[in-house]
């Protein structure tokens, strides 16, 4: 009798493993694969060949309604599931809503209107109107979606605060958008928000200070659109945050924008233009950087894009001109990317 071959002896034997796959088959028919039928009306699982009941209390996972050929007319949705709870509204939002009904029928519309008058919370209606205005203003100014959601959250938190009693709804909405821009890292100035919302700049400033005091005293957190919580931080707009957008509006290259940011950063470090608004510093730095890199722009044109008067730009530029040796990077001159001769004359 021949013994086992060398290959058979050298081959590793597979380790024992228990088969965890559960196969439900009929003990009488023993068909593989089994012919199982789920009888949802009775809650049983039976063998389709012999009728033996193999399981009971089967959960019906199908929809609870029946859809017929003419049920989808008018895009009717027979779903019994409502919308998710909106955290920006104050009501329970667990009410049953009556639909408008079939087209051409006034009964459903009348019932829907009556129900809205009976159960709708007036506070939620006012909040939804304010949210619609905030969304409209943000979309008009091409602000990101996160700014919209943060502004709505801020509005909901501070709307009923006693410190804001007597303030107009428009001023609260404008200040909420301004605070949301700062929290989201989207630099916008008071003047830009004023132009967007048609609310006086002083009124926006007053409401903004009140909202800041509310958040700083209470330590309230703002829930952003990305579902992350962060504590309120009093973030101030600086000149560097405004450079890229203003340079883009003026048709300047990224090299000029980065150069203007460097000039503003150096000016802040040296204490030049201390006490002036970030808007004035940004306009003066762009005026200087544009001429330095061979892309000059007039003070009048920069004034149109930044909202700073050309007189203010030239006055701020005089201080930058006097300190030009400290502000301009020597590597720009050595690499011939910039030239001091291109600087506007004082």
Q: So what's the pLDDT on residue 227?
A: 35
Domain boundaries, the chain: 18-58, 124-231, 239-342
Q: So what's the pLDDT on residue 40?
A: 77
Q: How far is CA 86 from the centre of its chain?
A: 16
Q: How far apart, in whole angstroms, are the C-alpha atoms of residue 152 and residue 158?
A: 10
Q: How far apart, in whole angstroms, are the C-alpha atoms of residue 316 and residue 287?
A: 10
Domain boundaries 18-58, CATH class: mainly beta
Q: So what's the pLDDT on residue 342?
A: 86
Angle between helix 190-197 and 169-183 (nearest 10): 140
124-231 CATH choice from 1.10.357.20, 1.10.10.10, 1.10.472.170, 3.30.465.10: 1.10.472.170
346 residues of the chain, pLDDT tens digit each: 455 555 555 566 777 777 667 777 888 888 888 888 888 778 888 998 888 888 888 877 776 666 555 555 555 555 555 566 777 777 666 666 676 665 556 777 787 777 777 666 667 778 888 899 999 988 888 888 888 888 998 888 887 788 888 888 889 999 899 888 888 888 788 888 888 888 888 888 888 888 888 887 765 544 333 333 445 555 567 778 788 888 988 899 989 999 999 998 888 888 888 888 888 889 999 999 999 998 999 989 999 888 888 899 999 999 998 888 888 888 888 888 888 888 888 7
What's the CATH code, domain 239-342?
A: 1.10.472.10
Q: So what's the pLDDT on residue 226?
A: 34
Each as own residue / partner, the long-range contacts of residues 339-346 (CB below 8 Å, 24 or more positions apart, any chain) are 339/292, 339/294, 340/292, 342/291, 342/292, 342/293, 342/294, 342/296, 343/288, 343/291, 343/292, 344/287, 344/288, 344/291, 344/296, 344/299, 344/317, 346/317, 346/318, 346/321
Q: Which residues have CB under 8 Å from 94's CB, separation 6+?
A: none
Same topology, domains 124-231 and 239-342? Answer is: yes
């Amino acid at each position: 009798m021949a013994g086992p071959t060398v290959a058979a002896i050298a081959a590793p034997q597979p380790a024992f493993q228990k088969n965890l796959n559960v196969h439900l088959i009929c003990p009488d028919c023993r068909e593989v694969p089994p012919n199982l039928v789920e009888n949802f009306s009775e809650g049983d699982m039976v063998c389709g060949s012999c009728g033996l009941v193999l399981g009971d209390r089967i959960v019906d996972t199908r929809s609870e309604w029946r859809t017929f050929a003419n049920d989808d007319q008018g895009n009717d949705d027979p779903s019994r599931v409502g919308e998710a709870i909106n955290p920006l509204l104050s009501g329970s939002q667990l009410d049953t809503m009556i639909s408008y009904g079939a087209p051409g029928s006034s009964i459903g519309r009348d019932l829907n209107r009556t129900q809205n008058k009976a159960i709708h919370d007036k506070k939620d209606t006012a909040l939804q109107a304010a949210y619609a205005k905030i969304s409209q203003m943000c979309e008009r100014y091409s602000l990101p979606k996160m700014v919209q959601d943060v502004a709505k959250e801020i509005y909901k938190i501070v709307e009923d605060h006693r410190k804001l009693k007597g303030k107009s709804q428009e001023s609260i909405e404008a200040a909420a958008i301004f605070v949301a821009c700062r929290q989201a890292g989207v630099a916008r100035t008071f003047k830009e928000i004023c132009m967007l919302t048609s609310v006086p700049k002083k009124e926006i400033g007053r409401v903004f200070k009140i909202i800041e005091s509310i958040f700083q005293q209470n330590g309230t957190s703002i829930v952003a659109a990305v579902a992350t919580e962060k504590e309120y931080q009093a973030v101030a707009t600086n000149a560097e945050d405004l450079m890229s957008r203003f340079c883009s509006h003026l048709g300047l290259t990224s090299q000029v924008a980065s150069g203007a940011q460097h000039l503003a950063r150096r000016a802040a470090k040296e204490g030049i233009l201390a006490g002036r608004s970030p808007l004035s510093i940004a306009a003066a730095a762009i005026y200087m950087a544009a001429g330095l890199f061979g892309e000059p722009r007039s003070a009048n044109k920069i004034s149109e894009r930044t909202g700073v008067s050309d007189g203010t730009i030239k006055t701020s530029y005089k201080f930058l001109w006097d300190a030009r040796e400290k502000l301009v990077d020597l590597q720009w001159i050595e690499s011939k990317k910039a030239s001091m001769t291109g600087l506007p004359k004082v």
